Amino acid sequence: MIPIRDTAPCYSTPYVTWGLMAVCISIFLIMLLMPYELSAQLIYLYGMVPNRYANPDWGVEHGMAFDGYFSFLSSLFLHGNWMHIIFNMWFMWIFADNVEDRMGGGRFLAFYLICGLLATAMQWYSAPTLTIPVVGASGAIAGVLAAYYFMYPQEFVIVYFFPIVLRLPAVTFLGLWVIFQLWHITTSTYVEGTSDSAWWSHIGGFIAGAVLHPFFLRKNEAV
């Protein structure tokens, strides 16, 4: 079920949304042009490797000294493959402009980054001995989705559900998205330092967005 567009009007130009997208896409394309060994090294250095913080000695042994938790932030701008970045940026394109419209650029940027940091922290807490990098903007975007869920309950999302196109209430589409994440949490695997995805970061980001979004709205806005 792929969202095509939403019906919520946007009354301002979402410069911060576009800027965040541009940074993520630019970093991804630049890393594609690098030798694989170098890009892989950067993913490990700037992606969030949970075991690096749970076992600092292990991190030092593997060339990842403690970085003051900087990778909790830098990992939000890294993506592992084309599908990863396309889906993240597509959701960003559809939903983030409306949230930025209601918050303003500066507040939206702070909201986005805080949701991303809390989402990454949730993923670390859920699997602290994971030895592969956690990367991607999806935790921060999950916070944006939560804000949209509560700010635009009357709007609709046009989705492609093979082979038809549906018009779903935004709360229905995003509610199904949450259920999908929870289902994956119950079925995902975690064996010997590996995992099939960072589903807990999605839930952590959504919870952060649901709780925090009222504090970032413009003073004349109301949910």
Residue 221 pLDDT more than 90? no
The total number of structural domains that make up the chain: 1
Quickly count: other Cβ atoms within 10 Å of residue 92's Cβ: 23
Judge whether 223 lies within some domain: no
State the pLDDT confidence band at 192, using cuts at 50, 70 and 90. Answer: very low
Judge whether 146 lies within some domain: yes
Of the two residues 193 and 94, the one the predictor is more confident about is 94
Of the two residues 48 and 195, the one the predictor is more confident about is 48
Judge whether 85 lies within some domain: yes
Of the two residues 110 and 191, the one the predictor is more confident about is 110
Which pLDDT belongs to residue 188?
61
Judge whether 222 lies within some domain: no
CATH number at residue 26: 1.20.1540.10
Judge whether 188 lies within some domain: yes
Judge whether 221 lies within some domain: no
Which pLDDT belongs to residue 223?
54
The model's pTM: 0.92
Which pLDDT belongs to residue 220?
74
Judge whether 25 lies within some domain: yes
Judge whether 164 lies within some domain: yes
Which pLDDT belongs to residue 222?
59
Which pLDDT belongs to residue 214?
96
Residue 141 pLDDT more than 70? yes
**71-107 per-position pLDDT tens digit:** 999 999 999 999 999 999 999 999 999 999 999 999 9
Print the domain residue range for 100.
2-216
Half-sphere exposure of 47 (CA within 13 A, CB side): 22
